[in-house]
Amino acid sequence: MGKVFKTSVKKTRRIISQLNFEKGLIPVVARNFDGEVLMIAFMNKNALLKTLSTGLMHYYSRRMKKIWMKGGVSGFVQKVLEVRVNCENNSLLFTVKQEGPGACHMGYKTCFYRKILNSGRFKKVEKKVFNPKRVYRK
Residues that bind its own copies (CB under 8 A): 5-7, 11-12, 14-15, 18, 22, 27-29, 31, 35, 37, 39-40, 62, 82-88, 91, 93, 104-106, 108, 111-116, 118-120, 122
Rounded CA separation 130/64 (Å):
25
Min dist CB 114 to its own copies, Å, is 5
Biggest CA pair distance of the chain: 51
H, E, C per residue of 66-87: EEEECCCCCCCCEEEEEEEECC
Write phi, then psi, for 46 (nearest 5 degrees): -70, -40
Cβ proximity to its own copies, 72 vs 122, nearer residue: 122
Cβ proximity to its own copies, 55 vs 67, nearer residue: 55
Choose among 102, 45, 105, 108: nearest CA to 78.
102
Min dist CB 55 to its own copies, Å, is 11
Min dist CB 1 to its own copies, Å, is 16
